[in-house]
Amino acid sequence: MKINGKTKVCAVIGDPVDHSLSPVMHNAAFKELGLNIVYVAFSVKTEGLEDAILGAKSLGLLGLNVTMPHKHAIIQYLDETDSTAKAIGAVNTILNERGRLFGYNTDGKGVMIALKENRIDSEEKKMLLLGAGGAAKAIAFQATQETDELVILNRTEEKAKQLAELLNKTFGTKVTGRTLSVEVLKEELGNTDVLVNATSVGMSPDVNASPVPADLLHSGLCVMDIIYNPLETKFLKDAKIVGAKVVSGLEMLLYQGAFAFEIWTNCPAPVDVMKKVALSKLAEQGVRP
């Protein structure tokens, strides 16, 4: 594409953003659809967040992705947030609509669509979600609306119970929060259909760690890890060995990005193109199974 006076700009802001896959994914998508939009990465320190948002408004940026550590603090500078982002207190996508900034959270939707695209139906199923941090919270809010039963396990049990209580209050459901321990995993995994790891256990460089002992996994599970470095964590390798269906963390990154793309452009995202360039960029960064 040729950059000209009509070129619109999207960006990711965070600290750090050096290894973000968003620029390659979105620029490839814009090019594929012939859209006059470019995507860049801006490193923004916490103390510069307000100035960055004012700058985005003044410069007329079309949209932003927001990554750590700004997903929570960014909300105070927005004009409006969608119900999910407001409830979980975190935004990862912003649309600038004639000077008004609208915040969204696409992480949870990204996971649920990734499962569906991999032919994993979560409806009328039991999901076991590991973790109660930011990503887990977004996933839990979406999963509560799409699964029959949700159990949240976290090393600090109180955080799991607090999240479950918030979900039950919001949706009138019966989500359970418990301790992430071997004893509880043994009790819960027998009748679990979908198992999602939303903790950082197994992320590079700690590639030999897994949140679940291998001997507790079984072939009836559909297993997803939101970690994409490495692409195939020990958790996923162990699950694959016992015959479980597995979904890598790249899928979450891909589909949350696709949702952001559609918010900005009102066009279906070319997911295959985005995935191809993301895998290529990861290979350049030395990220392999």
The class that CATH gives domain 108-247 is alpha beta
Q: Is the pLDDT of residue 1 over 90?
A: no
Report residue 58 as tokens.
Answer: 């003044």
Specify the 3-state DSSP secondary structure of 3. coil
pLDDT more than 70, % of the chain: 99
pLDDT for position 174 = 87
pLDDT per residue as tens digits for the range 217-273 = 999 999 999 999 999 999 999 999 999 999 999 999 999 999 999 999 999 999 999
DSSP state of 267: S
Q: Give the Cα separation of 244 and 237 in Å (integer).
A: 10
Q: Three-state DSSP class for 253? A: helix
- Helix or strand (DSSP H, E) at 14: strand 8-14
pLDDT digits (tens, 9 = 90+) for 43-59: 999 999 999 999 999 99
Residue 154: which residues within 8 A CB-CB, separation 6 or more? 130, 131, 132, 136, 160, 163, 177, 179, 180
Give catalytic residues, as residue numbers: 71
Q: What local confidence, expressed as pLDDT, does residue 77 receive?
A: 97
Q: What is the mean pLDDT of residues 195-211?
A: 95
Rounded to a whole number, what is the distance in angstroms from the first to the last CA of the chain? 33
Both structure tokens of 57: 């408004």
**Residue 71, pLDDT score:** 95
> Is the pLDDT score of 134 beyond 90?
no
**289: pLDDT strictly greater than 70:** no
Contact 214, 241 (CB under 8 A): yes
What residues contact residue 258 under an 8 Å CB cut-off, 6+ apart?
Answer: 110, 113, 269, 271, 274
Q: Mean per-residue pLDDT for 195-200?
A: 97
Contacts of 272 (CB under 8 A, 6+ apart): none
Q: What is the per-residue pLDDT for 287?
A: 83
For residue 207 the two structure tokens come to: 């590639």
Average pLDDT taken over every residue of the chain: 95
Under CATH, which architecture does the 8-105+256-284 domain have?
Answer: 3-Layer(aba) Sandwich (3.40)
Listed by start position, the domains of the chain span: 8-105+256-284, 108-247
Distance CA 248, CA 156 (A): 25
Q: 77 and 46 in contact (C-beta within 8 Å)?
A: no
User: Average of pLDDT values for 87-114?
Assistant: 95
Rg (CA), the chain: 19
Q: Please enumerate in sequence order all residues whose Cβ is within 8 A of that of 35, keeping only pairs 6 or more positions apart, or say none.
A: 1, 265, 267
Report pLDDT digits (tens) over 137-153.
999 999 999 999 999 99
Q: What gap in Å lies between CA 196 and CA 222, rounded to an integer?
A: 8
pLDDT tens-digit map of 7-33? 999 999 999 999 899 999 999 999 999
Tokens encoding 192: 């679990």
CA distance 163 to 52: 31
Question: Dihedral of the CA atoms 132, 133, 138, 144 (nearest 10)?
Answer: 0
Kindly state the percentage of the chain with pLDDT values over 90: 90
